[in-house]
Structure 1
Amino acid sequence: MMSTNDALKKAQQVLEEGGVIGLPTETVYGLAARIDIPSAIEKIFTTKERPFFDPLIVHVSSIDMAKKVTAYWGPASQALAEVFWPGPLTLILPKDNSINSMITSGLESVGIRMPNHPIALGLIEEVGVPLAAPSANKFGRTSPTSATHVRVEFKNENVFVVDGGDCQIGIESTVLLVRHRPDKVELSILRRGHILKSDLEKVLKEKGFTFEFIEQVDKRESPGHMKHHYMPPIPLIVSTDSKRAVDDILKEVNQKLGQLPDEIESIKIIKPANGIAKAEVLKLSHDPLLATREFYGKLREVALKGADCIVFYKEPHQVGERWESLFDRLNKAASLIL
């Protein structure tokens, strides 16, 4: 087994040669490449089978490095980064002209994050340039929270994976659009995550900022903005009635099966020719932090048990900001919500 030092040297070599690597972070594993090698950026998209209209997040190892990839950093960005970086917060800011338009999908903004993982931070610092890194899975599929997930996902591709253990948070970062106006700061949460709106408000108030959260915004500037994402290879059914019998759910699912497309946003949906006969129930911890950490791993695990579909029951206690971040992923992963 390769030592961590040897793995980091190998990863650095792969990156310098224009390759992609599986990179551990505290959120999910990323598929990383240097931002200064255009062919490497393109390789992220082709390896993931990701459409070029879905922007990538740029990962940095310091605030100084972040300032070099944005045209305007600003006081609110500084305040938020000082509190939440390294950590699961991506800031969407005006992009510097040096940033390849493939990274931003042609948009004039760029997503920037400093991951809270010693291997990711050490590698970015050693490489000396930021790394572009979406989640290390095929486009639209369940995100990886372990090195094994990445290796299984890309078993047919030449992807070197640095094993940094299981991810501590388990879902992707909060994505925050920041606009500095003359009289206030305008903010929009484009993707929910571990950092909550209440966390952001608290810091901005303490720092004396005048700010406003804008709810109705175009989310194209965020990765994972599509209606369907994070999907397992078999249908995931979310039941909003926690007492409903599985057999009753399957009966309705089979009635609606014909209405399901064979493909949703380029994700192929497996529909058994003889209908859905067997379901596995996805069970998560009662604590939202634990449930979030285990969600993707358990979703993968349950999908491999040989059932025709997965059923998840939404329970009455699963309410509040913490659960909203998880249900953002769960609802996008679902084929049907009953």
Structure 2
Amino acid sequence: MKSVNESLAKAKKILEEGGVIGLPTETVYGLAARIDIPGAIEKIFTTKERPFFDPLIVHVSSIEMAKKVTAYWGPASQALGEAFWPGPLTMILPKDPSINGMITSGLESVGIRMPNHPIALELIQDVGVPLAAPSANKFGRTSPTSATHVRVEFKNENVFVLDGGECPIGIESTVLLIRHRPGKVELSILRRGHVLKSDIAHILEEKGFTFEFIEQVDKRESPGHMKHHYMPPVPFFVVTDPNRSVESILQEVNEKITQLPDEIESIKIIKPEQGIHSAEVLKLSKDPVLATRQFYGKLRDVAAKGKDSIIFYREPHQVGERWESLFDRLNKAASLIL
């Protein structure tokens, strides 16, 4: 078994040669490449089968490194970076002209984050260059929270994976668009995550900023902005009535699923030709933090059990900001919400 140092050395060499690697973080595993090698950035998209309209997040190992990626860092970014980095907050800021347009999907903004994982931080520091790293799964499919998930996902591509254990958070980072305006800061949460809107507001209030959250913005600047994402290999249904029988759900599903398009925003919708005759129920912890940590792994496990579909019952207690971050993923992973 390789030591961590040997694995880091191998990962660094692959990155220097323009390859991609599986990178552990506290959120989910990423498929990482150096931002200064155009062919490596392109390899992320081709390996993931990801369309070029979906931007990548740049991962750094320090605030000083982050400042080189953006054209304007700003006092609010500094305050939030000091409060939440390393951690699951991605800040969308004006991009430095040196940033390859493939990373930002042609946009003038770039997503930056400092992951809270010792292996990721050490690798980025050793490489000396930020790494672009979307989640290490095929486009639109369930995100990986273990090294095994990544190896299974890319078994044909033979991707080298740094094993950093299970991801303790289990869903992707919060994505926050920051606009420094004269006299105030405008903020938009483009993707919910472990860092909550209330957490961000608390820090900015504490530091004396005048700020406003803007709800209606174009979410193209964020990865994972499509209506469907994180989908398992069998149809998945979120059911809002916890008392419904599986039989009545399957009857409704078979009436509705054939009416869905074959593809939505480049993501294929799975519609079994012979109909859906069985379902496995996905069960998660009553604690939203634990439920979030479990979600992707359990979704993969349940999908592997061989039933035609998966059902998740939404319960009355599943309300509040923490649950909203999880339901952002649950609802996007679902073929139908009933």
TM bin (shorter chain): over 0.9
Task: Answer yes or no: is 1:72 the counterpart of 2:72.
Answer: yes
**1:26–1:115 contact (8 Å) kept in structure 2:** yes
Offset of residue 275 of structure 1: 1.3
Equivalent residue letter for 1:78: Q
Conserved 8 A contact 2:24-2:117: yes
**Equivalent-residue separation in structure 1 for 2:182 and 2:276 (angstroms):** 57
Q: CA deviation at 1:80?
A: 0.3
- Which residue number corresponds to residue 121 of structure 2? 121
1:213-264 C-alpha deviation (Å, 9 max, x unpaired): 0000000100000111001111111100011011110011111122123333
Name the structure 1 match of 2:287.
287
Structure 2 gap segments, 5+ residues each? none
SS at match of 1:176: strand
Structure 2 distance, partners of 1:302, 1:237, is 13
Correspondence for 2:233: 233
Matched letter for residue 70 of structure 1? T
Secondary structure of the 1:103 match is: coil
Q: How many angstroms apart in 2 are the aligned matches of 1:191 and 1:75?
A: 22
Alpha-carbon contact 1:21-1:33 (below 8 Å) kept: yes
Contact 1:234 1:269 in 2 (8 A): no
User: Does 2:130 match 1:102?
Assistant: no
C-alpha distance in structure 2 between counterparts of 1:88 and 1:274, whole Å: 42
SS in 2 for 1:318: coil
Structure 2 counterpart of 1:202, which letter? Answer: H
**Is the contact made by 2:57 and 2:133 (CA closer than 8 Å) also made in structure 1?**
yes
1:181 and 2:181 correspond: yes
The alignment yields a C-alpha RMSD, in angstroms, of 0.8
- The CA deviation at 1:266 is 2.9
In structure 1, the residue corresponding to 2:90 is in which secondary structure? Answer: strand
Asked whether the equivalents of residues 71 and 95 of structure 1 are also in contact (C-alpha less than 8 Å), the reply is yes
Instruction: Give the letter for the 1:114 counterpart.
Output: M
**Equivalence for 1:91:** 91
Partner in structure 2 of residue 197 of structure 1:
197
Contact 2:26 2:117 in 1 (8 A): yes
Q: Tell me the amino acid that sits aligned with residue 298 of structure 2.
A: K
Q: SS state of the match for residue 295, structure 1?
A: helix
Alignment of 1:164-313 (within 5 A): 164-313=164-313
Aligned to 2:156: 156
Query: How far off its partner does 1:304 sit?
Result: 0.7
Name the SS of the counterpart of 1:241 in structure 2.
coil
- Percentage of matched positions with identical amino acids: 84
Whole-angstrom CA distance in 2 between matches of 1:197 and 1:269 = 31
In structure 2, the residue corresponding to 1:2 is in which secondary structure? coil
Query: C-alpha separation between the residues in 2 aligned to 1:81 and 1:227?
Result: 29
Structure 1 position 324 matched with structure 2 position 286: no
1:233–1:269 contact (8 Å) kept in structure 2: no
The one-letter code sitting in structure 2 at the alignment partner of 1:168 is P
What's the CA shift for 1:120? 0.2
Alpha-carbon shift at residue 315 of structure 1 (Å): 0.3
For the Cα contact (< 8 Å) 2:90–2:175, is it kept in 1?
A: yes
| Consecutive unaligned residues in structure 1, runs of 5 or more | none
Distance 1:34 1:255 in 2: 47
- Could you tell me the TM-score, scaled by structure 2's length? 0.99
**Conservation of the 8 A alpha-carbon contact between 1:27 and 1:172:** yes
Please give the per-residue CA displacement for 1:272-317, whole angstroms capped at 9, x wherever unaligned: 3321111000000000000000000000111111111100000000
Kept after mapping to 2: 8 A contact 1:70/1:93: yes
Q: 1:24 matched to which residue of 2?
A: 24
The runs of at least 4 consecutive aligned structure 1 residues that moved more than 2 Å come to 260-274
Q: Could you tell which deviates more after superposition, 150-159 or 254-263?
A: 254-263
Asked whether the 8 Å contact 1:150–1:161 carries over to 2, the reply is yes
Residues 151 and 158 in structure 2, CA contact (< 8 A), matched pair in contact too = no
Shift of 1:73: 0.2
Tell me the distance in 2 between the aligned counterparts of 1:128 and 1:6. 18
Task: Please state whether the residue corresponding to 1:148 is helix, strand or coil.
Answer: helix
Q: Is the 8 A contact 2:258 2:271 kept in 1?
A: no
3-state SS, counterpart of residue 53 of structure 2: coil
* Secondary structure of the structure 1 residue equivalent to 2:311: strand
Specify the SS of the correspondent of 2:259: coil
| Distance apart, 1:147 and its partner CA | 0.2
CA distance in 1, matches of 2:134, 2:20: 11
- Secondary structure in structure 1 of the residue aligned to 2:300: helix
Shift of 1:159: 1.0
